Amino acid sequence: MITLKQIEKYYTLKGAKSYVLRHIDADIQKGEFVSIMGPSGAGKSTLLNIIGMLDEPTYGSYKFMDQELSSLSERKRIEIYRNHIGFVFQAYHLIDEMTVEENIEVPLHYKNISSSERKSRVADLLDRFQMVAKKDLFPHQLSGGQQQLVGIARALAPQPLLILADEPTGNLQSAQALQIMDLFRQLNKDEGITIVQVTHSEANAAYGNRILNLVDGVVTNNS
């Protein structure tokens, strides 16, 4: 599903190149649950952002579903991640002015999905995450775990093939973190959704079936 070849990312500061990522080669198959691990500043998030097309590599080739991304226009790329990729963030990043229900619904608006279809999908997700009673609350009225649930529900709404999660439990207490990680495993096992997560917790990484170890922008261990 994802093929990274010789991906490099660097910034030029006063003529000197400062590398974030070097010679990254990786393959991620459909249905995998991959954890990217590494110390702070290793370039984990940058790699995730490149996979999520929020950032561009300075050099190298990135194929998503056998399409070379650098050859695609901005519009096409948005089209791809709008249809196939869902994001989950450490800080949840819900829209503060929207209710739970509306937050889950927004991505569907951008996919031009009909009103009735939207309603039914949102209702399903609320039901599944047991948030029906909370659908009219605003993010700040929820606990962190609940907010992250909404974040995941939002990511799932467009029925993506791939979920990219950047430290999804970083802001959560351990009990809530467990709940979220269980949810990810379930999504991966039962629905076959490919998941790539960034984490620096061994425990969380263990949920996945493969770990990419990243140190100073270089993959040291791909097991």
Taking residues 58 to 77 in sequence order and writing x for each that binds other proteins by CB under 8 A, - otherwise, the string is: -----------------x--
Q: Which stretch in 30-38, 85-93, 128-136, 192-200 sits in contact with other proteins by CB under 8 A? A: 85-93
Among 6, 41, 67, 110, binds other proteins (CB under 8 A): 110
Separation CA 204–CA 168 (nearest Å): 10
Separation CA 131–CA 152 (nearest Å): 12
Total number of residues that touch other proteins (CB under 8 A) = 28
Window 135-154: residues binding other proteins (CB under 8 A): 154
Find the shortest distance in angstroms from Cβ 85 to other proteins.
Answer: 9
Structure tokens at 190: 């039962």
Among 14, 97, 140, 175, binds other proteins (CB under 8 A): 97
Q: Check residue 55 for interaction with other proteins (CB under 8 A).
A: yes
Which CB, 91 or 206, lies closer to other proteins?
91
Q: Check residue 49 for interaction with other proteins (CB under 8 A).
A: yes
Separation CA 69–CA 20 (nearest Å): 20
Q: Check residue 13 for interaction with other proteins (CB under 8 A).
A: no
Among 2, 7, 36, 94, binds other proteins (CB under 8 A): 94
Q: Which stretch in 104-112, 124-132, 193-201, 214-222 sits in contact with other proteins by CB under 8 A? A: 104-112
Binding site for other proteins (CB under 8 A): 49, 52, 54-55, 75, 78, 81-82, 86-87, 89, 91, 93-98, 102, 105-107, 109-111, 154-155, 158
